[in-house]
Structure 1
Amino acid sequence: MSPVAEDYDFHGTHPATPRPDAVPVRWAMVEDRPLPARVRGYTCECLPIIFEDCRAGGQGFIRRYDRSVSPWVIAESPRIKVSAAERLWRQLINGEAR
């Protein structure tokens, strides 16, 4: 193992705790395997809930993995315009959406 791996703890983006006035997202459960999507961003794997900023078919959406339960629960936001998905992603990261 390299010294770098031993000396540093690598983490990805940690979303802020949702604020009391955070906008609720209409999460829809994914019945089967999620359809292929290009993942543009994601939150840290060390957390029990992980978000992915996704694009597919010219639209954007957020995929949410709840790993606090077994089996994991996978849900997706509505598929919306890419600009709206980018705004939703920033809201989730900043604690302005939940």
Structure 2
Amino acid sequence: MAADELADFHGPHVGPPWPGRTKLTWHEPFSRASRIRVISHTCECGKTMYELCAAAGLGFVRRTDRAKRTVHETAWMLTATAADAFGQILDGKAG
């Protein structure tokens, strides 16, 4: 496996949190759709993993905390807005 393929497999790491970063509201998962597609995800090496998800024409970010064994989601929103939130999480500007 080539190094660039390995990077794609593992996903990016979340950057360090910025001072004054945007605080996202996290909700308990609610079964709104029978199928959810994971568009992108962060590396699974940390205790917390984020996934950009799409379902029923909407997008959201799912947060899995392995240490606490919890799963939370942002509100479901336009897919482009969810992708922006996911990018801000990756940059450490939201969380």
TM-score in same-fold range (> 0.5) = yes
> TM-score normalised to the size of structure 1?
0.80
Gaps of 5+ in 2: none
**Match of 1:60?**
59
Structure 1 runs not aligned, ≥5 long: none
Q: Post-superposition shift, 1:30?
A: 2.2
- Distance in 1 between residues matched to 2:26 and 2:79, nearest whole Å: 17
Q: Which residue of 1 aligns with 2:85?
A: 88
User: Partners of 2:44 and 2:63 in 1: how far apart?
Assistant: 12
Runs of at least 4 residues of structure 1 off by over 3 A? none
What amino acid is the match of 2:29?
A: V
Q: CA deviation at 1:15?
A: 0.7
Rounded Cα–Cα distance in structure 1 between residues aligned with 2:60 and 2:19: 23
Cα distance in 1, alignment partners of residues 64 and 73 from structure 2? 9
Residue identity (%): 31
Give the whole-Å Cα distance in 2 for the aligned partners of 1:47 and 1:66: 9
Which whole-Å CA distance do the structure 2 matches of 1:14 and 1:36 have between them?
Answer: 26
C-alpha distance after superposition, 1:19-73 (max 9, x if no partner): 12110111002267x963100000111100000000000000000000012xx10
Bigger Cα Rg: 1
TM-score of the superposed pair, with normalisation by structure 2: 0.82
The two structures, once aligned, show a CA RMSD in angstroms of 2.0
